[in-house]
Amino acid sequence: MRSDGRQPLEAREFDIETNILVQCWGSARCVVGGGLGGGTECLAAVTAQIGEGTACGVEVECSPSLWAAGDDRAKLALQERLAREADAWLTPWRAAIPKIGEKLGWHLVIDCIILSDDGGLREALSCAIRAALASTKLPAAEEALEASDETTEALPFSLLPAETPPTTLSVDECPVVVTLAVVGGTLLADTTADEPADAMVAVAVAAGGAVVGVDVLCGAVPPALLREAVAAAPALAAPLLGASSLAPAPR
């Protein structure tokens, strides 16, 4: 029995809100396991500009309150690792970034901040990113912009038409990530910071339950348990995928 009474493959409740930040094209907040324990909270914001081709980058920052003074190396290492992981999660989705004609396209930057961490960090981060992308509204751009061979740098938004329907982003190929801990010979879903683990597995799942990535985060996982983790991930991801596609704006 787990300390909070959950079954081995039972995840905590979560909450997602979109359009919570200004001065960005899309934003979202995800809290996993909120309540008296505080839970894990992540924010994501999407900004964009037009440039040659299409691109998407991810930056992750941890709130200073998560780390003791002088522990900057551990903080930077975690930020860099999460940014690399998030960049890899988005690999199958990048083809959905809109192009403008043959040469130009949108360059997106996703800035994320981790405000609190009580386990389920990758769930919260991936859901915040996916919901922020789903809420993103890009100004419609004229294909005539790409006719000029002289412009190779990012174009200012003042060149874009002001009264046209916005462009939205499909997030079908953008996955959420579920983590499963190995404790003895048992898999535990969505472990808290206080729950021990012999190993951790992260599984990225896109729309329709498609598994698009598997990563052993730490420890050694027997092949049978790894297959079990991959098999369990789509069911755990389904509520996260649904909520991050249709997340409400704050009241």
Three-state secondary-structure class, residue 157: helix
- Kindly report, residue by residue over 99-121, the tens digit of the pLDDT: 888 888 999 999 999 999 999 99
Enumerate residues 6+ apart whose C-beta is below 8 A from 101.
143, 145, 146, 147
Q: What is the pLDDT of residues 52-94, one digit of tens each?
A: 999 999 999 998 877 665 677 888 899 999 999 999 999 989 9
Residue 189: what residue type?
A: A
Q: What is the pLDDT of residues 141-163, one digit of tens each?
A: 665 454 455 555 555 554 455 56
Give the homologous superfamily in CATH for domain 14-145+153-245: GHMP Kinase, N-terminal domain (3.30.230.70)
Distance CA 215, CA 91 (A): 15
Closest CA to 10 of 178, 175, 144: 178
The per-residue pLDDT for 159 is 46
Distance of CA 239 to the CA centre of its chain: 15
Question: pTM for this structure?
Answer: 0.88
Residues sharing a CB contact under 8 Å with residue 156, sequence separation 6 or more, in sequence order: none
Domain boundaries, the chain: 14-145+153-245
